[in-house]
Amino acid sequence: MATKEYKTVLVEKEDGITWVIFNRPEKRNAMSPQLHFDMYDAVTDAEGDPETQVMVITGAGSSWCAGMDLKEFFREGDKNPEFQRKVGWASQEWRWRKLFTFPKPTIAMVNGFCFGGAFTPMIACDFAIAAEDALFGLSEVNWGILPGGLVSRVVTDMMTLRDGLYHAMTGDPFDGKKAAEMRLVNFAVPADQLRAETIALAKKLMEKNPSALRATKQAYKLVRNMDYSQAEDYLAAKGAQIKMQDRESGYDEGIKQFIDDKTYKPGLGPMARVNKVS
């Protein structure tokens, strides 16, 4: 399928991976209104696209994303509240709701600056891999606002209260290595290995049964806010849903390959996707 063209976002597809690339390098990929509309469209398209098995979000040039555009979103947006509301809606939709529940695995490949409002999509992705020299910061306090939108809320999901509050209140930036130490990202690697490590993770995910993977991610994210009886009931229903909807019949196939064929050990790696659908 031909990829759409956007003013501020590039979409590239290769071997099951869809690369969605913030593309305003001259502005360090700050999120302008146009970028929010473009991202909303690009993420929505990838949701239902059979070619997209894993989506990676990264940035062109030296930056992942320098946060909200202070000029176009804040200064100019403040003069046009109706438009700012529309942009705000699109921005929350793609940065949180769509990304958090995206039906396939998502990886934030943080190649450079990641500031302020960029924390939301970075945290919404299932995985984050950073270049060791990437630079993160909750910089809002440095210019007189608080980490708004959903930033303060989602940061508390990912950082300890000590670490999150420290960085929200001091605005001190930290590098990719420190982000990995604080478990804000899965791991950090030298910049020249970032793409290869991201592809390796994407390939590992593509070996799994997609229905099981999708249900696992949805369930793992959602049960955190349920009490135990709700979680128990929901997980039972979700398990039944996989069996009904899985076009690869992973449940039966997985048991067969282990018990009858003895071709793999579930404890050590994935079964072969012999009925591969996409």
Binding site for ligand ACO (CB under 6 A): 27-28, 30, 66-71, 113, 115-117, 139-140
Q: Compute the least distance from the CB of residue 42 to ligand ACO, in Å.
A: 20
Q: Compute the least distance from the CB of residue 107 to ligand ACO, in Å.
A: 21
115: Cβ–Cβ under 8 A, 6 or more apart, which residues? 65, 66, 67, 136, 137, 138, 139
Kindly tell me which of 91 and 106 has the beta carbon lying closer to ligand ACO. 91
Residues across the chain? 278
CA–CA separation, 190 and 140 (whole Å): 28
Q: Compute the least distance from the CB of residue 272 to ligand ACO, in Å.
A: 45
CA–CA separation, 105 and 56 (whole Å): 9
Phi-psi region of 138 (alpha: psi -120 to 50; beta: other; left: phi over 0): beta
Kindly tell me which of 36 and 104 has the beta carbon lying closer to ligand ACO. 36
Element (H, E) at 174: strand 174-175
Q: Compute the least distance from the CB of residue 126 to ligand ACO, in Å.
A: 22
Kindly tell me which of 33 and 210 has the beta carbon lying closer to ligand ACO. 33
Tokens representing 107? 């990886």
Kindly tell me which of 75 and 276 has the beta carbon lying closer to ligand ACO. 75
Q: Compute the least distance from the CB of residue 70 to ligand ACO, in Å.
A: 4
Kindly tell me which of 137 and 254 has the beta carbon lying closer to ligand ACO. 137
Q: Compute the least distance from the CB of residue 30 to ligand ACO, in Å.
A: 3
CA–CA separation, 74 and 33 (whole Å): 10
CA angle 93, 22, 74 (to 5 degrees): 60
Kindly tell me which of 70 and 235 has the beta carbon lying closer to ligand ACO. 70
Tokens representing 122? 């970075």
- Name which of 51, 105, 99 is nearest 217 in CA terms: 105
CA–CA separation, 142 and 32 (whole Å): 20
